[in-house]
Amino acid sequence: MKVGDFLREISFGILPSHTDLSPSEQALEAFWNRARTRAKLYPLESLLGADDMSAFRPPTFSGDNPQEFCEGVLAGEISEIRTARADFPAEAPEPRVGELSILLDGDDIPQALLRTRQVDVTDEEIVEHVEIIYRAGQ
C-alpha cells in the first residue's frame, strides 16, 4: 500500500487513526514510539520493516502499590519483580530473558521501559530481574 492510499484510508475511517485511541492509550503509544527509538531496540526497522517484537507495544506493569513501586524502580532500589507461583496465571508463559514491559506510575503514566535480564523460577515464586533501558523524558 502506498503512503497516500494509507492516509486516504485513515481519513475515510477505513483504518483506525491515532485519534481513535483514548488519552491513556495515546500516551502509551507515544511513549513506546520514543522508547524503542531512543533505546535503539530495532535499529534496522527503517530498512527491513517492523517485525513482531517492534510492531507490538509491550505489556504494562505497575506493581501492587504503583507509585511506590515505580519510584523504587526509578531510584534503583527495586530491580526484581517477585510473583508467587499461586498468583501466576497457569495459562501464562513464564517470563523470558529479553522481554520488555512498560512501567507505569500511580497515575498510569508510562515512566520507563524495562527489560528482563534474568528469570529465577522456584516452586514458590517467579523472580524477574529487570533493568531500565529507557526513562520517560530521556
CATH number at 83 reads: 3.10.400.10
The number of folded domains in the chain is 1
Amino acid in the structure at residue 61 = F
Q: Which range marks the domain in which residue 81 is found?
A: 3-135
Predicted TM-score of the model (pTM): 0.74
pLDDT tens by residue, 15-45: 445 556 777 888 888 888 888 888 877 654 4
pLDDT tens by residue, 39-87: 877 654 444 455 455 567 889 988 889 999 999 999 999 999 999 998 8
Residues forming beta bridges with residue 83, ordered by sequence position = 126
The 3-state DSSP class for residue 120 equals: strand
Residues whose CB is less than 8 angstroms from the CB of residue 21 and which lie 6 or more positions away in sequence, other chains included: 29
Radius of gyration for the chain, computed over Cα atoms and rounded to the nearest angstrom: 17
pLDDT category at 134 given cuts 50, 70, 90 is very high
